[in-house]
Amino acid sequence: TIQPSQADYFQTVKGGGHGDYRLITLAPASVQEMADFVGLAFDLAFKYRNPAIILADGVIGQMMEKVVLPPQKPRRTDAEVIEQCPWATTGRVNGRKPNIITSLELKPEEMEKNNIRFQAKYKLIEENEVRFEEINCEDADYLIIAFGSMARIGQKAMELACEEGIKVGILRPITLWPFPTKAIAAYAEKVKGMLVTELNAGQMVEDVRLSVNGKVKVEHFGRLGGIVPDPEEIVSALKEKLIEK
């Protein structure tokens, strides 16, 4: 439904179609980020010639907040497009050979070369475009890992937990792909446990578990059907799943 949910994580990050492909995925946690990420998504898509998607949820999508709109960029001329994007199909050849945009090769050997080229591009994106936010993670005993609206709710849960003497930090993936695997893996050496909170039955939690590779306990807390949890529910889940055991 159009109610709040984050159940499209797998569909977006793990695929949804045929092929060994990746989508650059940006997860906003505010209305300001929803505006900012439009330009960023286009910039990344043009830079890497790769699809980019903004994965907002029903809470962020219906939220009302102040927004400072970025300045409008001037439209590039055909000459600038040809110079900066020689692969572009502008409709005008202007002395160059026609651009044929396709990834289909009938010869398996040529198709494999295409796929190897794509994998090299994905590796480059993973090396340069990982984005995440850390809040009070320096001396935390436990981490809440969440994206989108659940990261906003998690911040209040973090405050409530700290009032009870529980040292909790928040790690918010901003790019769901490329995923902040290395950053999460580094915390596996420092914290006692991680709670992944999502508005689904458990999807991003799989990537967190892959990141830590069994070095620390990772648990999941989620609500389904459009129900948004209170911060107190997250604190209770943190205690029940990680601290009281």
Domain with 199 in it: what CATH number?
A: 3.40.50.920
Which of 128, 144, 166 is the last residue before a domain boundary? 128
Same domain, 105 and 191: no
**Does the CA dihedral 198-200-202-205 come out positive or negative?**
negative
> What letter represents residue 229's amino acid?
P
H-run or E-run covering 208: helix 204-212
Same domain, 141 and 239: yes
Number of domains, the chain = 2
Same domain, 136 and 201: yes
- Residue 226, pLDDT > 80, answer yes
pLDDT band at 144; cut points 50, 70, 90: very high
Q: How far apart are CA 138 and CA 125, in angstroms?
A: 27
- pLDDT of 85 reads 81
pLDDT band at 92; cut points 50, 70, 90: low
| pTM attached to this predicted model | 0.92
* Residue 32 domain flag: no
* pLDDT > 70 fraction of the chain, expressed in percent and rounded: 96
pLDDT band at 1; cut points 50, 70, 90: low
Same domain, 105 and 136: no
Same domain, 168 and 216: yes
* Residue 57 domain flag: no
Q: What integer is the mean pLDDT of 104-123?
A: 92
* Residue 151 domain flag: yes
Which of 94, 110, 128 is the last residue before a domain boundary? 128
* Residue 145 domain flag: yes
pLDDT band at 86; cut points 50, 70, 90: confident
pLDDT band at 207; cut points 50, 70, 90: very high
pLDDT band at 188; cut points 50, 70, 90: very high
Same domain, 196 and 148: yes
* Residue 53 domain flag: no
Q: How far apart are CA 188 and CA 194, in angstroms?
A: 8
- pLDDT of 93 reads 62
* Residue 66 domain flag: no
Query: Which of the two residues, 225 and 76, has the higher pLDDT score?
Result: 225
Which of 86, 109, 128 is the last residue before a domain boundary? 128
* Residue 235 domain flag: yes
Task: Identify whether the C-beta of residue 142 lies closer than 8 Å to the C-beta of residue 168.
Answer: yes
Domain of residue 115: give its range.
Answer: 78-128
Ranges of beta strands (E only) in 147-232 are 168-173, 175-177, 193-198, 217-222
Q: What integer is the mean pLDDT of 216-244?
A: 96
Same domain, 172 and 214: yes
Same domain, 122 and 144: no
- Residue 15, pLDDT > 80, answer no
Which of 13-27, 74-88, 220-234 ranks highest by mean pLDDT? 220-234
- Residue 2, pLDDT > 80, answer no
Same domain, 163 and 208: yes
Same domain, 149 and 212: yes
Q: What integer is the mean pLDDT of 154-176?
A: 97
* Residue 96 domain flag: yes
